[in-house]
Amino acid sequence: MKSKILSILLIICSIALIAGFFIFTPTYIQTNGDVKHFSDSDMSFDIPNTWTVYEYDDATKTPFLSSSPASIIVNPASQSTYSYNDGNLTEITENGALNTSATSATDVAIVTCEISKMDSLPEGVTLDNAYQSDSIYGIMESSGKFNLDSATVIQVDGKDARQFVYTVSYTKYKDTWVESNGHYYRILCQAPNTFFDEAESVFDTIVNTMKLK
């Protein structure tokens, strides 16, 4: 009898510990109408509720994710948001996932932002030419496929920043670098030329609402 009671108590304690683990896990994403607000130990920003921040809105994965990641990926929640397929979106998606019977991987455009944090810039690189530290620059500039469209001095959360817009073949990038408290933050957003104007408002929302802690 005692062993049975002990087993029941152990089960109850295990359930309580597991429940507590998830209950006290930080909430990184809050949704307010059409807007999602992301916040971790380093930064916060807003995105439309049709976009997602890596796996930080997955309740089963959130407890195991870092509160201070070196980089995060911000994507449209649905793979078919930006698609070359001319059909109706309801025809090419099933429960928000890509319906491969109606379209192919080549129909899906890569529209994404990567936000990364680093302690320093490479030797010889400053905020004024920070985009040149990317490997894509060295490869594409020598091939003649890199074109710098604009370089702008801006402020992000009241901090010194530079924003570069450049085109590499058929893809356009909005590349923002910010210096804050001895660290450098990079917000690298990209979209095919065809979809850049449509996606740019999301890119700008991330930059304009960015708060660095």
CA–CA separation, 121 and 184 (whole Å):
7
The per-residue pLDDT for 91 is 47
Lowest mean pLDDT among 6-10, 73-77, 142-146, 204-208: 6-10
pLDDT band (50, 70, 90) for residue 95: low
Cβ-contact 189, 47 below 8 angstroms: no
Q: Which residues have C-beta within 8 Å of that of residue 174, sequence separation ≥ 6?
A: 163, 164, 165, 187, 188, 189, 190, 200, 203, 207
Q: For residue 102, how many other CB atoms are within 10 A of its CB? A: 16
Nearest to 177 by CA among 138, 140, 212, 149: 212
pLDDT band (50, 70, 90) for residue 2: low
The tens digit of pLDDT for each residue in 136-188 reads: 888 888 888 899 999 999 999 999 999 999 999 899 999 999 999 999 999 99
Cβ-contact 46, 209 below 8 angstroms: yes
CA–CA separation, 185 and 167 (whole Å):
21
The per-residue pLDDT for 86 is 55
Mean pLDDT within 25-35: 89
Q: For residue 24, how many other CB atoms are within 10 A of its CB? A: 8
Which domains are present in the chain? 28-77+109-212 (3.40.1000.10)
| Average pLDDT for the chain | 84
Judged against a pLDDT cut of 80, whether residue 106 lies above it is answered with no
17 CA to centre of own chain: 32
Mean pLDDT within 61-78: 93
